């Protein structure tokens, strides 16, 4: 039996026993022949509740990184996905989010259909995930016991840093990075930066703006403060926005079209598919007026707004940005 993804982890449940959260410390994607064969022989497709004793031999011989789970008295879960199909359960949803944040797969490379239906809106608290129906009692019990109890967010997605912190990154505000974000080596996310699930900064990158769902920021690119990228969820959009290498989106600027390499959008300018753009050639002559969608995916483009006429222009970008190597060497 083929193995697309597999993980052993811990689940959180509401008082009715429904799974609301899963933590997989060492997920696997398409394990090689021997390991894949061992998984398919030891586990069944789907998610099963297991005890430490049941997985002891497998962990000791195949996944020693999971050795601490053998010491727990809690129930564990084992989730096996034979193929990359639409999400059909909460454990499957969390496993796919883990694969992204562990850098085992890139955004837009997995089938995430159905993921929202299988992620409950829960309270993410200092005592873990709590179903909203259970929250009032848990708050009261914490207060009566004199415990500090804080609701950090109410959402379908938790913050990534509570599950995995990829190597070589800096995150100034971990609440702004959702589980399912992909942060590449050397990436810095400043306090105002945000990365949604199924979105990526391939690294090294400077992220001071927002990377929306489905958007991929190429290596060496800089997303300025307050800048944004148009995702594919709102309004039924289907265009996937990618930003190439060594691009700069200026502060409070943004893009709703894909960009190739070495592109710059000046501060405060937002380029959408319908934006009227005057194309200027190397000699400064107006060549034509195009819609943003006609320029999608091009490289070496400099988008500016004429300071007197307000006309949006696209010129040849003669200088690519270079990130500060010392700043992005996160040892």
Chunked mean pLDDT (size 10), the chain, 331 residues: 95 96 98 93 96 94 94 94 98 98 97 97 97 97 96 97 97 97 98 97 97 96 95 63 96 96 97 95 89 95 94 87 54 59
**What residues have CB less than 8 Å from 92, skipping those under 6 apart?**
47, 79, 81, 118
Residue 136 makes CB contacts below 8 A (sequence gap 6+) with none
Which residues touch 64 (CB under 8 Å, ≥6 apart)?
none
Kindly report, residue by residue over 293-327, the tens digit of the pLDDT.
Answer: 999 999 999 999 999 999 999 999 877 666 555 44
Helices (H), the chain: 33-42, 52-62, 90-101, 135-144
Give the pLDDT of residue 237: 55
**What is the reported pLDDT for 330?**
58
| Residues carrying an active site annotation | 208
Handedness of CA 293, 296, 298, 299 (dihedral sign): positive
**56: DSSP letter:** H
Per-residue model confidence (pLDDT) at position 159: 97
Sign for the CA dihedral angle at 118, 112, 236, 258 comes to positive
pLDDT for position 317: 85
Single out the residue of 228, 223, 221, 195 nearest to residue 207, CA to CA. Answer: 223
* Neighbour order of strands in the sheet with 151-155: 128-131, 122-125, 151-155
Q: 3: which 2 tokens?
A: 């193995």
pLDDT score recorded for residue 236: 47
**Longest pairwise C-alpha distance within the chain:** 75
Question: Residue 325: CA atoms inside 13 Å, Cβ hemisphere, count?
Answer: 0
Q: Whole-angstrom Cα distance, residue 52 to residue 279?
A: 64
204 preceded by a cis bond (ω within 30 of 0):
yes
pLDDT for residue 240: 85
**Which pLDDT score is estimated for 235?**
47
Crossing angle of helices 52-62 and 33-42, rounded to 10° = 170
Judge if pTM exceeds 0.85: yes
Residue 179: count of CB within 10 angstroms of its CB:
21
**Contact between residue 295 and residue 313 where contact means Cβ atoms under 8 Å apart:** no
Beta strand spans in 253-295 (E): 254-255, 264-265, 270-271, 276-280, 286-291
């Amino acid at each position: 039996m083929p193995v697309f993804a597999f993980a052993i982890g811990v689940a959180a449940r509401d008082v009715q026993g429904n799974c609301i959260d899963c933590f997989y410390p060492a997920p696997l994607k398409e394990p090689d022949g021997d390991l894949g064969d061992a998984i398919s022989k030891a586990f069944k497709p789907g998610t099963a509740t297991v005890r430490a004793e049941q997985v002891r031999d497998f962990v000791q011989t195949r996944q020693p990184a999971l050795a601490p789970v053998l010491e727990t008295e809690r129930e564990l879960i084992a989730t096996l996905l034979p193929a990359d199909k639409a999400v059909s359960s909460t454990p499957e949803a969390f496993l796919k989010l883990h694969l992204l944040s562990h850098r085992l797969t890139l955004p837009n490379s997995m089938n995430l259909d159905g993921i929202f239906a299988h992620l409950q809106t829960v309270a993410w608290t200092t005592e873990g995930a709590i179903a909203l129906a259970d929250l009032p009692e848990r708050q009261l019990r914490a207060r009566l016991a004199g415990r500090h109890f804080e609701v950090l967010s109410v959402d379908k997605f938790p913050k990534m840093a509570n599950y995995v912190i990829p190597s070589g990154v800096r995150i100034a505000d971990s609440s702004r990075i959702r589980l399912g974000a992909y942060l590449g080596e050397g990436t810095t996310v400043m306090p105002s930066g945000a990365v949604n699930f199924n979105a990526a900064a391939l690294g090294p990158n400077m992220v001071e703006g927002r990377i929306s769902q489905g958007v991929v920021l190429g290596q060496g690119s800089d997303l300025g403060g307050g800048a944004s990228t148009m995702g594919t969820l709102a309004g039924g959009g289907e265009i996937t926005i990618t930003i190439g290498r060594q691009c700069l989106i200026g502060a409070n600027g943004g893009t709703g079209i894909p960009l190739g390499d070495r592109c710059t959008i000046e501060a405060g300018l937002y380029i959408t598919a319908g934006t009227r753009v005057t194309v200027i050639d190397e000699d400064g002559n107006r060549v034509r007026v195009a819609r943003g969608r006609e320029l999608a995916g091009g490289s070496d483009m400099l988008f500016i707004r004429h300071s007197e006429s307000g006309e949006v222009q696209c010129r040849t970008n003669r200088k690519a940005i270079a990130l500060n190597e010392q700043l992005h060497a996160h040892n």
